[in-house]
Structure 1
Amino acid sequence: MVQGSRLDRLEDSRFKEVKRLKKKQLPHQLHWYLKQDYFSEELLGIHRFQIENFQRICTEAFLLFEKATQKILDEKRLNEFSIPPFFEECIYHSWNNRDKHPFLLGRFDVNGGLKNNDAKIIEFNADTCSTLPETVLWQDLQHQQLPLGNSQFNNLSHDIGEILLKLKHKISHDEPFILGSSFGYKEDILNVNTILDIGHENGFKSFYVNLEEVIFSHEEGILYEINGEYQIADIWFKMIPWDWMFTDEPQLAKDLSAIIRKDLCTVLNPAYAALWQNKKFLAYITRHFPNDYIAETFIEKPLLQEFVTKPHYGRLGENIEIKGKETTLSKGDYAHQDRVYQRFHPLEQDREEYYYQTGIFYTDKPSALNLRTQENLIITDDCEFMSHFII
């Protein structure tokens, strides 16, 4: 059924409702999400030119990330981005050997671009980005309910597989292993297993263990015990932030630095993702590479009527404050961190007062689009996930 009166001033056909999918129709990877009242039963239609614009600005942004990273490394300025001295050599090594330590995936969060507003990138989830099962699996299942001829922008599984295949060709033995780990939260495990499933489809043996079960050896690399024997991992995919290691488990960061510098294991996302995750990096880009697609970000409080303050390593929309005509603040665990300041670019809102944020997954190219929506000017972990189709 076509839904009208959703996004203000957009044609009725922008929203289509599909039938609620039942548990028996879903792969087991999505069962947990059904309990969260998380999935929307509507899909938003996005014009092809809008998707092409999202792709363009994210491609341009990623190129700037690469240029800015090279400049920071050339000028030896990693200390300005909360990178501990003992980890700097690891970042240099992984960056200078990106064929062995490639970037796997991240998600650009974009405000605007769905109406006539300019699209602005406000963040890059470069280290431990989530929404993988819902993007890879749920969007496809909902999309299958639309009439033939509809399409979506969703190549994420294929593009991740292509990067893993390139790594596979660099492994000298016939049975490469990819190990996945997290802190053990259910959602994190499901996100990690999405990557492991893609690895399995591309010829890897894959296995999941929580972080405390992983063994880190300066001589052998990264291992785990299975059936009384120790298996060496060729690739370790982690949902464990680099910045958490720097502050809470520096010995783990030191062990990984030694393993990476010896090329004993490929860790994804690579060490230089810690730099990209830091929002001070966005302020560096604003200063040295001014552009029209990343929201202006500053280290010092700007002379702006409306701006946003964010913790430099914050996640999940926590501890964000929007200052303008009214002040909006979210709670969280990052209040103790240094802040950055960003020009305020509002989310687009529908007549039912839901706000919309676009996520563009980036591998070595723009790979997929998803949407999150919430009755809140700050999108948090309590949002609703929405699929899309191309008009």
Structure 2
Amino acid sequence: MERIRSTPRPDWREKTEAQGLIYSTTVMDDGTALEYWHEDAYYLFTMPEVETLEAVTEDLHRMSLEAARFLATGAMGDLGIGPAAMELARYSLQSQDPALYGRFDLAYDGTGPAKLLEYNADTPTGLVEAAICQWYWLQDVVPANDQWNGIHESLVAAWGRRRAETGLSRLHVAHVGEEDTGEDWMNAAYLLDTAQQAGWETQGINLADIGWDRDTHRFVDLDERPIEAIFKLYPWELAMADPFGMHVQDHPHAAVWFEPPWKMFLSTKALLAALWHLYPGHENLLPAYLGQAGPLTEWVAKPLHGREGENIVIHAEGIDLVQPGHYGAEGWCYQAFHPLPDFGGNRAVLGAWVVDGESVGVGVRESDGLVTDYFARFLPNVIDAPAPAPTPTAGQAIR
């Protein structure tokens, strides 16, 4: 794995925005503009590295499912979600409610085993840049090479399987209208597009516009049409505190949910402690403990429901870092400190995507500091191998 310098395309902004990446620029309080999409460098993998990381990712997914079954027993408490949400998640897991995708965040420098940092299994974003933008970048810059990126085709195929398994034909896709960067909306729009390509009749909806029909015990949209299947880009632990969360609890099969409620067992940082409990010493895991640091002398404290690096606390030799944020009341997981690999001052995290449990691609984010936060940047990836024969749908943009 290497970080290779590259010359940005002169029209990169126009191209990436046309492909859906409308949220690359963040304007700071002092007027400084930070760019999320960066193509002045890329990460180069060898094919053996990709094959190894694919196997690791799929192993971690299987282990995480086992850890979910362990967490469902209540052995590690209510995970900060409360008894009602625990009951719903447990019932959903027992019912084998269908799921779609997730993203493992891994630390890997090309020399030692990859280490799991966390699993974003409920509401992972980053699809537009990982599935679309970096694929088109590859065609413009290094078209002779392959890329670790089969995300688009895998999502379309998985949506097709969900349609066949459920026997349903209409899918609502919901996002939160209050999110003003456009990131949630564009990730939801992309998932809507992939479902549409798989044959679903699709309808976008604001989460706040979902209604409840008391007579039929069904969720409905603004046209009073029943919601049969729905993808929501909104965390379950927050949804359970909303009024419609109570309806899901009382009528768990009023709709088919993507992702399903049992993803609450995977989206909590308690998963890290459960994995270490079940697989102590595993080469791809870091020691982790729930509620206390245990034997760890250097550790990272992570709020169970934290996102984007908020409220992360790092205690290590010469390091005492506390990130601001709004999480922590739900509880903490303590994970052994493992510094991110440093590529010339750029600290990289691999976002390894899984669809239906299969490793399908990667998105690389990097930061200047020890925590990958809101100000991280995304860089494309290349495999040091020839490009395969083209497929009609590869990297297809949102229509």
- State the TM-score, normalized to the length of structure 1: 0.87
Kept in 1, the 8 Å contact 2:121–2:267? The answer is yes
Partner residue, 2:287: 296
Deviations 1:118-153 (A, max 9, x none): 310110011111111111111111111233430111
Kept in 1, the 8 Å contact 2:314–2:320? The answer is yes
The one-letter amino acid of 1:295's match is L
Deviations 1:251-304 (A, max 9, x none): 3222122343xx331111111111111111211221122222122211221333
Partner residue, 1:4: none
- 1:347 and 1:223 map into 2 onto residues whose CA distance is 45
Partner residue, 1:315: 307
Question: Quick one: structure 1 residues 34 and 65, their matched pair in 2 at CA, closer, same or farther if it must change by over 3 Å?
Answer: closer
Question: Which structure 2 residue ranges, 5 or more long, are not aligned?
Answer: 27-34, 385-399
Residue 151 (structure 1) aligned with residue 146 (structure 2): yes
Deviations 1:286-336 (A, max 9, x none): 112222212221122133332111111111111111111222221111143
Question: Quick one: structure 1 residues 31 and 305, their matched pair in 2 at CA, closer, same or farther if it must change by over 3 Å?
Answer: closer
Equivalent of 1:380, from 361, 373, 376? 373
- 1:69 and 1:177 map into 2 onto residues whose CA distance is 27
Cα distance, 1:22 vs structure 2:
4.2
Question: Quick one: structure 1 residues 130 and 79, their matched pair in 2 at CA, closer, same or farther if it must change by over 3 Å?
Answer: same
Deviations 1:43-93 (A, max 9, x none): 2111222222221221111111122223344x4547432343223443233
Kept in 1, the 8 Å contact 2:79–2:304? The answer is no
The one-letter amino acid of 2:309's match is G
Cα distance, 1:32 vs structure 2:
1.6
Kept in 1, the 8 Å contact 2:92–2:262? The answer is yes
After TM superposition, list the pairs within 5 Å mapping 1:44-123 onto structure 2: 44-73=43-72, 75-77=73-75, 79-98=77-96, 101-112=97-108, 114-123=109-118
Partner residue, 1:274: 264
The one-letter amino acid of 1:387's match is P
Kept in 2, the 8 Å contact 1:29–1:190? The answer is no
Kept in 1, the 8 Å contact 2:301–2:333? The answer is yes
Deviations 1:332-384 (A, max 9, x none): 11143411110111111122x12111110112211110101111110101111
**Greater helix share, structure number:** 1
| Percent of aligned pairs sharing the same letter | 20
Equivalent of 2:197, from 196, 201, 206? 201
Question: Quick one: structure 1 residues 107 and 306, their matched pair in 2 at CA, closer, same or farther if it must change by over 3 Å?
Answer: same
Cα distance, 1:31 vs structure 2:
4.9
Q: Relative to structure 2, which stretch is displaced further, 14-23 or 34-43?
A: 14-23
The one-letter amino acid of 1:269's match is E
Equivalent of 2:175, from 159, 175, 181? 181
Partner residue, 1:235: 229
- State the TM-score, normalized to the length of structure 2: 0.85
Equivalent of 1:338, from 323, 331, 334? 331
Aligned residues: 368
- 2:296 and 2:71 map into 1 onto residues whose CA distance is 27
Question: Which structure 1 residue ranges, 5 or more long, are not aligned?
Answer: 1-6
Let me know the Cα RMSD of the aligned residues.
2.2
- 2:50 and 2:7 map into 1 onto residues whose CA distance is 21
Kept in 1, the 8 Å contact 2:171–2:200? The answer is yes
Kept in 1, the 8 Å contact 2:296–2:336? The answer is yes
- 2:172 and 2:372 map into 1 onto residues whose CA distance is 33
The one-letter amino acid of 1:38's match is Y
Question: Quick one: structure 1 residues 368 and 221, their matched pair in 2 at CA, closer, same or farther if it must change by over 3 Å?
Answer: farther
Residue 215 (structure 1) aligned with residue 211 (structure 2): yes
